[in-house]
Amino acid sequence: MIRTENLIKLYNLGGVEVRALDGVSLTVHEGEMIAVTGASGSGKSTLMNILGCLDRPDSGSYWLGDEDVAQLPKKRLAQIRNRRIGFVFQTFNLLPRMTAFENVELPLLYAGNTKQVRDLAMDALRLVGLENRTHHEPNQLSGGQRQRVAIARAIVMNPNIILADEPTGNLDSRTGNEIMELFEELHSQGRTIIIVTHEPAVAQRCGRQVHMVDGQIVDGMLQHV
């Protein structure tokens, strides 16, 4: 379902070349739940942004299903992201002056689905347990509730793939545990889930751990069967 081959991503910082990804080859099968671990700066977010079609590699291949999406135009990548991938961030990335409901309906509006917006957005908010917070704005919600809104937004288009970059990093351990239970529920429904985490307790709840060092995967790139 997800396969990358030799992904390279370079950044230029004041004339110094940084190899954020230095030949990443990774296969993730449909329905897997995997953790990506590694020190700060090892390339985890860079990899997630490419897997999530938020960014493109300088070279290498990325097959999503049977399509190589590595060098598609940004507009096409945005469409693929909208329909196939839900992305959850450490800092939630909700729009501040919009209610929970308005944040969750955005992907539907972007996709041109205006008919079922109300039902689908409400279904997603119900699934994350926020059906009675739909008119709250982010600053009226706790961190855990904000992340639930972000998860509702990520699943409202019913994507097969959910990517989460340190989703529990800004939450206390009890709230983080509740968020992990939500990911486990989404996984049990058959979705493919990739979670970046610093926390061993979070990583151990995933079926496989992929470890990154200096822009490379050093362990876990293939599923052990």
Task: Supply the minimum distance, in Å, between the C-beta of residue 127 and Mg ion.
Answer: 27
Whole-number minimum distance, CB 175 to ligand ADP, in Å?
22
Of 24 and 155, the one with the shorter C-beta distance to ligand ADP is: 24
CA distance 132 to 77: 34
- Name the β-bridge partners of 62: 4
Report the alpha-carbon distance of residue 183 to residue 163 in Å, rounded.
Answer: 10
CA atoms of 155 and 86, how far apart (whole Å) = 6
Phi, psi torsion values for 25, nearest 5 degrees: -115, 120
Residue 138 engages ligand ADP in binding (rule: CB under 6 A): no
Q: Alpha carbon of 35 to those of 9, 200, 211: distances in Å? A: 21, 10, 8
Quick one: what does residue 167 bind among ligand ADP, Mg ion, none, with the CB cut-off 5 to 8 Å set by partner type? none
* Contact string 41-60 vs ligand ADP (x = CB under 6 A): xxxxxx--------------
Q: Please state, in angstroms and rounded to a whole number, the distance separating the CA atoms of residues 35 and 196.
A: 6
117 binds ligand ADP (CB under 6 A): no
41 binding partner (options Mg ion, ligand ADP, none; Cβ < 5 to 8 Å by kind): ligand ADP
Out of 45, 82, 99, 168, which residue is the one contacting Mg ion (CB under 5 A)?
A: 45
Residue closest to 55 by CA, chosen among 148, 163, 154, 155: 163
Q: Residue 81 is which amino acid? A: R
Q: Which of 14, 17, 40, 224 binds ligand ADP (CB under 6 A)?
A: 40
Q: What is the contact surface with Mg ion in residues (CB under 5 A)?
A: 44-45
Q: What is the contact surface with ligand ADP in residues (CB under 6 A)?
A: 11, 13, 18, 20, 38, 40-46
